[in-house]
């Protein structure tokens, strides 16, 4: 199986920046696309950014131009650089890994979730 360890969360002032990391370990053949989701207080979890194994990227409209997702396949790690943060960005951020579609049966799951890391945006 794949295990995800997130880091980089914390407190930041409005307008500030943070960089999140999510390192995957275990069966690396089960690592395909990687993504970041977030769950603001009182709201449902939502997609923030998504990157395929080949580097194709999609962002939520709310973070386009401010957030950058990237990955280091050699380290099985996905990053989320967050700039110009506002209180609306405060949430628990979750890393998600999707096995390649051709490996869903072997890997046994459609996705893996990280434990979540809290982002607080406050003066």
pLDDT value for 23: 97
Closest CA to 6 of 15, 19, 17: 19
Cα 21 to Cα 58: distance, rounded to the nearest angstrom: 18
**pLDDT (0 to 100) of residue 109:** 87
* CA–CA separation, 118 and 81 (whole Å): 15
The pLDDT mean for the chain works out to 96
Give strand pairing partners of 48. Answer: none
What is the average per-residue pLDDT within 95-103? 94
The pLDDT of residue 123 is above 90 = no
**pLDDT, average across residues 3-29:** 96
pLDDT band at 1 (very low <50, low <70, confident <90, very high): confident
Pairing mode of beta strands 117-121, 10-12: parallel
Of 28-37, 59-68, 76-85, 99-108, the least confident: 99-108
């Amino acid at each position: 199986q794949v295990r995800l360890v997130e880091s980089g969360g914390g407190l930041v002032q409005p307008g500030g920046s943070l960089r999140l990391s999510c390192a995957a370990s275990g069966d690396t053949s089960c690592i395909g696309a990687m993504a970041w989701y977030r769950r603001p207080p009182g709201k449902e979890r939502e997609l923030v950014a998504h990157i395929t194994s080949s580097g194709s990227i999609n962002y939520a409209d709310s973070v386009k131009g401010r957030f950058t997702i990237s990955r280091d396949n050699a380290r099985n790690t996905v990053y989320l650089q967050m700039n110009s943060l506002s209180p609306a960005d405060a949430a628990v951020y979750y890393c998600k890994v999707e096995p390649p579609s051709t490996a869903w049966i072997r890997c046994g799951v459609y996705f893996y979730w990280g434990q979540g890391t809290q982002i607080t945006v406050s003066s």
